Amino acid sequence: MPRRSGPDALAQEARFVFKGTVKKLRAATMREVPIDARTVVVRVDEVIQAPEAMSHYAGQDITVLLPAKKKVKKGQQSVFYTNGLLFGDSVAVQAVDHHEVEKIPAALALASGGDPVRNLAVKDVQARVSSADVIVSGRVTSVRVPSDMVAARAAGVADPTATGPISEHDPDWRVGEIQVDQVHKGSHKGRIAEVRFPNSPDVMWYNAPKFHPGQEGFFILHKSTRERVAARAAPTDDTGEYVALHPADFRPFDEPGGIRNVLGLPE
């Protein structure tokens, strides 16, 4: 697959983005990292985008594994687009690419100086917005057990397996009805959108959105036929038109910035 090279694309591909200064060539901060020409020590000057666990690394020296055919000079300051690789007494990251600081894109420049965890969350929302079939704003009016599962559960009084295999990873599907106030992306007919979501607190599903009546906000929706989970998704006749699986698939109205910025809406 061809590698995306634009800074914005790189920031989507990389989770840990930082400004850094190259301190040592052919060196590492961890003895577990084999040293070669692609291994450099970089001081993290400023974290721009990061998961929570890597958001406090400003001022620290870390190991960067450069991609093939990419070189840096000692003392060079760059924006590094990386993903975590090794975590021990120090950290080693695999660089997707790096750019001169002056070439930092507008979006990242705006993010620079902000909360790196929040910046990553915005990137995640951007990615979900980009892949969404439909984005609506509105309110959850009801949540129900899918009709076919209601029937199965009734049968399950006598036969607990009537609803299908019993598994601790059962998604425990629900269908939320959303009263649509506005469509922000794609095409949706009617005032109601039906969204299937896993109600289970199991490890496989806990971070998917859990809808409840009265919940208001933006719903980033994907067609259930396109984003069906392969295992135990229990596709049924009453699937709902859409499915919400990613934690970024719901954004509340009162979230500052975030999706409003992504959609170009006023605060």
Partner 1 sequence: MATRKTRRRVTARKARSTRSRVARRGAARGAVHAPPGFLLINMIPHSLSGETSQDSEPHLTVNPANPNMIIGTAFSPNPGGGALGPVYKSLNGGNTWIVQAIVPSVAGSGIGTGDITTSFNRTGSKLYGGILRAGTGALEFLRTNAPAFPPMTVLASRPNADQPFTHATTVPSGPGAGQDRVYIGDNDFAAPGGKTQTVDQSLNAGVGPPVAFGSVRVEKRTTVGQDGPQCRPVVHSDGTAYAAFYGWRALTGSFPANTLVVTSADVVVVRDDKWGAGGFVNLKEPPLPAGDGLPGKRVIKGVSFPFMRNGTAATGQQRIGGTISIAVHPNNSSVVYLAWGDRQPGSFLTVHVRRSTDRGVTWSGPGDLLTIPNATNAALAIASTGEIGLLCQQVTGTGAGQRWVTHLQRSPNGIVWTDLVLATVPATTPVKTFDPYIGDYDHLVAVGSKFFGIFSANNTPNMANFPNGITYQRNANFTTHTLLNVNNSSPVAASIDPFFFKV
Number of residues this chain uses to bind partner 1 (CB under 8 A)? 52
46 lies in the site for partner 1, by CB under 8 A: no
Looking at 53-61, 177-185, 214-222, 255-263, which segment touches partner 1 (CB under 8 A)?
A: 53-61
Q: What 3-state class would DSSP assign to 76? A: coil
Which residue from 161, 191, 225, 257 is in contact with partner 1, where contact means CB under 8 A?
Answer: 161
203 lies in the site for partner 1, by CB under 8 A: yes
Looking at 3-11, 17-25, 168-176, 259-267, which segment touches partner 1 (CB under 8 A)?
A: 168-176
Please, which residue, 106 or 230, has the CB nearer to partner 1?
Answer: 230
Which of these, 167, 177, 189, 168, lies nearest to 146 by C-alpha position?
A: 177
Please, which residue, 167 or 182, has the CB nearer to partner 1?
Answer: 167
Determine contact, residues 62/92, Cβ cutoff 8 Å: yes
Q: Return the half-sphere exposure (C-beta side, CA atoms, 13 A cut-off) of residue 231.
A: 6
Which neighbouring-strand residues pair with 42? 22, 62
CA angle 105/111/112 to nearest 5° reads: 85
Q: Which tokens go with 20?
A: 């850094």
Cα distance between residue 40 and residue 63, in whole Å: 6
Looking at 36-44, 52-60, 184-192, 250-258, which segment touches partner 1 (CB under 8 A)?
A: 52-60
172 lies in the site for partner 1, by CB under 8 A: yes
Please, which residue, 205 or 211, has the CB nearer to partner 1?
Answer: 205
**For residues 116-145, which are near partner 1 according to CB under 8 A?**
120, 124
Which residue from 165, 190, 214, 264 is in contact with partner 1, where contact means CB under 8 A?
Answer: 165
Q: DSSP per residue over 157-198, as a string?
A: TT-GGGGS---TT---EEEEEEEEEEEEES---SSEEEEEEE
User: How does DSSP classify residue 22?
Assistant: E
1 lies in the site for partner 1, by CB under 8 A: no
AA identity, residue 228? R
Determine contact, residues 129/259, Cβ cutoff 8 Å: yes
Please, which residue, 164 or 213, has the CB nearer to partner 1?
Answer: 164
Residue 62 φ then ψ, to 5°: -130, 170
Which of these, 165, 231, 166, 220, lies nearest to 193 by C-alpha position?
A: 220
167 lies in the site for partner 1, by CB under 8 A: yes
166 lies in the site for partner 1, by CB under 8 A: yes
| Site of interaction with partner 1 (CB under 8 A) | 15-16, 30, 32, 51-57, 60, 82-91, 93-94, 120, 124, 153, 156-157, 159-161, 163, 165-170, 172, 200-204, 206-207, 229-232, 247
